[in-house]
Structure 1
Amino acid sequence: MTPSSPIRVMSPEEIAVNAGARVAPVKVPEPGLFAERALRLRQLADGHAMRDYLLFVAELAQRQHELLKQPRALKLPDEVLINGAMVGGLPPVEAQGHPRDAVWREELRALLTAMSAAAIPEAAKALVARLAQADEVWLEQQAGALLAGGGPGLDPAAAPLIAAALQVHWTRLVTGLQERYERSDQGENVAPFGMIDDPTVCPCCGSRPVASITRVAAEQSGQRFLACSLCGAQWHYVRIKCTHCQGTKGISFQTLVDDEGRKSEAVAAECCETCGHYLKQVHMEKDLQVEPLADDLATLTLDLLVGELGLVRQGFNPMLILGEAEASHDDAPPGRAGTGAAPPGGR
């Protein structure tokens, strides 16, 4: 009897990578996406330096949830376009390429009406009233700048409200396509979503992630998903891998430390020395209530600290745009560093 070969034990990361092939690579947004975000923001606001603004965004998220429950007619892309996107390795409702239906402005008007009756600061009420009078050309220009991930001409104060309407609209598009596929007889329709050629952007709408989340549920335990800043979809992405250059060398993590020297383990910034970019990670194993956009928004201090190291933010959070980053790389995306208007709910 010959001696058995030595058994090689896989590292936790290798286990996660291999498990990733067995879980659904794309998670379409859940119906309670905005309600969970609102709940988390209210939780994070307690005693926070940005309390007023977090509560403002929480109110906005709650109104998004209520609006999403109301039916609205949408023109969905046909199967030929979906099939073409799949063959080309592209997202089927790409934020900058998909024709923007004017119905998104109906979502905005409904949100503005709801927010005008909400208990929000006077400065926010004034902004809501100003946006209600804005012309369509300006609104479309603002929408285009936001869908491009920020850029020249974007009004930082108005951005959260406009982005909220766009988020509802694109969430409807993604969930509508998924529902159409699930209703089809014997699955004859083309499956709408799958991994695309560029794993660093949303496979549904092509937007940048706001952050990544490490999940704990069943077969997804230990799996890392990137969370879309626009439609709310999540897609699998290997851990300890840069979400900008896709490299695995020179990866480190930065966290906030309180006055007593304790690290904030629920949120960390994954930093890449190779390309000089970073993206935040939120960990459900440390806090089951984490929500990517909410926890990203509540850890602005971490952005400022990592920015002092010369790193450029890879994620995009349309709920807080303070200006364009002074990027050290020609292809660096707009970030949150720099000077800009104060958010409508206060800072």
Structure 2
Amino acid sequence: MTVGTTHKILSPEEIAVRAGEQLTFLHLPEVGVFAERALRLRQLAAEHAMRDFLFFVAELADAQHRALSARVDVPLPTAEQVEAAARAGQPLLPAQSWPRTAVWRDSLRALLADLAHRLPDGPARATALALAVAADDHVETQADRLLNGVMLGLDLASAPLIAAGLQLHWVRLVQQTAARVEAQVAPFGRVDDPTRCPCCGSEPVASLERLGSEGARYLACGLCTTQWHYVRVKCAHCQSTKGISLQSLVAADGSSAETQPAVQAECCSECGHYLKLMHPVRDNGIEPVADDLATLTLDLLVSESGLQRHGLNLLLLFGEPDDPAPPGKPH
């Protein structure tokens, strides 16, 4: 007689969670993060309807890369702050409340001067030069509005430039904290809200299946560029595993724009939100911020069905300055 062994059948979510235990939870920003973004933007811009804008953001990313390559020290959290954040289950460097010192404004102005030197005469160059000499109070007020999702009074022309300075500053904060702060616990780890960046608490700009991670899904921060593991087929807004579907762009004749689209919208009928899902295995050049900008048409398609975008891209804002809707949310 054969004696069988009883095994518990795991749910898809349980399988994903167990797989996640074997994966690297966090991927912190690397030195070449902005250079990779600039390269991808130029690749995408070649035959794109938003060609001029994508080339401009590529120049901006190049300026961020040059600034990051120049060593600039930023004030770092203390070991006590690291341990307090870990105990509270909160991000260590929360974008909305972490104190910004003058170093970030100095770096922003240096970045703007560098960028303006490489831009042709025109509105973009004029905006960069004007922001470079703007008063500290104006720059800080605009930064606060941007980080807190306040459209009222936000200058949409200069917002991407301020966002670039904030991205540069938070990448430095994360990199230098990881390298230099000594504490009893790791400076960055799991936090109570798995939908928010464990480093700065920002919303993800998109999610992607990282190469070499057996198809595991990671959320990608639009501010500090950190990527953190998140269970697949689960809403990144309400965390529901029900009512999840994928939408893709279709060609004019109704066929799929691609046999296997590299960028899709993961939609949740439970809460009415969506977040883009990117597949580097289908296009290994994918960079979350760049590919999000280049797939604006997908946002417009999904928003027509009444869904609201969950991901936030600080470099592309929707609406009018007197519109109370948060930035990065199509109407």
TM-score normalised by the shorter chain: which range applies? over 0.9
Matched, 1:263 2:257: yes
CA contact (8 A) 2:317 2:327 kept: no
The one-letter amino acid of 2:287's match is: E
Structure 1 window deviating more from structure 2 (97-106 vs 230-239): it is 97-106
State the superposition RMSD in angstroms: 2.3
Structure 1 window deviating more from structure 2 (65-74 vs 44-53): it is 65-74
CA contact (8 A) 1:76 1:173 kept: yes
The one-letter amino acid of 1:289's match is: G
In structure 2, the gaps of 5 or more residues are none
1:238-282 CA-to-partner distances (Å, cap 9, x unmatched) read 111111111011111111123452334100011111111111111
Partner of 1:73: 73
1:25-62 CA-to-partner distances (Å, cap 9, x unmatched) read 11111111101110110010011000000000011001
Matched, 1:227 2:237: no
The one-letter amino acid of 2:80's match is: V
| Matched positions, count | 328
Partner of 2:246: 253
Counterpart CA distance in 2 for 1:25 and 1:149 is 27
Counterpart CA distance in 2 for 1:291 and 1:106 is 28
Partner of 1:147: 147
The one-letter amino acid of 2:208's match is: I
Matched, 1:203 2:185: no
CA gap of 1:314–1:59, structure 2 versus 1, over 3 A, is same
Alignment identity in percent? 54
Partner of 2:122: 122
Q: CA deviation at 1:98?
A: 1.1
Partner of 2:26: 26
CA contact (8 A) 2:93 2:199 kept: yes
Matched, 1:336 2:329: yes
Equivalent of 2:185 in 173, 177, 190: 190
CA contact (8 A) 1:16 1:222 kept: no
1:90-144 CA-to-partner distances (Å, cap 9, x unmatched) read 0011111211122110111011111111134611111112212311111101100
The one-letter amino acid of 1:213's match is: L
Partner of 1:296: 292
Partner of 2:89: 89
CA contact (8 A) 2:203 2:221 kept: yes
Equivalent positions of 1:238-249 (< 5 A) are 238-249=231-242
Q: CA deviation at 1:333?
A: 5.1
Partner of 1:284: 280
Counterpart CA distance in 1 for 2:310 and 2:248 is 17
1:218-250 CA-to-partner distances (Å, cap 9, x unmatched) read xx1211110001001011101111111110111
TM-score (norm. length: structure 1): 0.89
Residue 206 of structure 2 aligns to a residue whose secondary structure is strand
TM-score (norm. length: structure 2): 0.93
1:304-335 CA-to-partner distances (Å, cap 9, x unmatched) read 1111101111010011102279x9xx9x8544
Residue 279 of structure 1 aligns to a residue whose secondary structure is strand
Counterpart CA distance in 2 for 1:247 and 1:13 is 11
The one-letter amino acid of 2:257's match is: K
Residue 97 of structure 2 aligns to a residue whose secondary structure is coil
Residue 39 of structure 2 aligns to a residue whose secondary structure is helix
CA gap of 1:150–1:65, structure 2 versus 1, over 3 A, is farther
Counterpart CA distance in 2 for 1:275 and 1:159 is 29
Counterpart CA distance in 2 for 1:189 and 1:120 is 51
Partner of 1:343: none
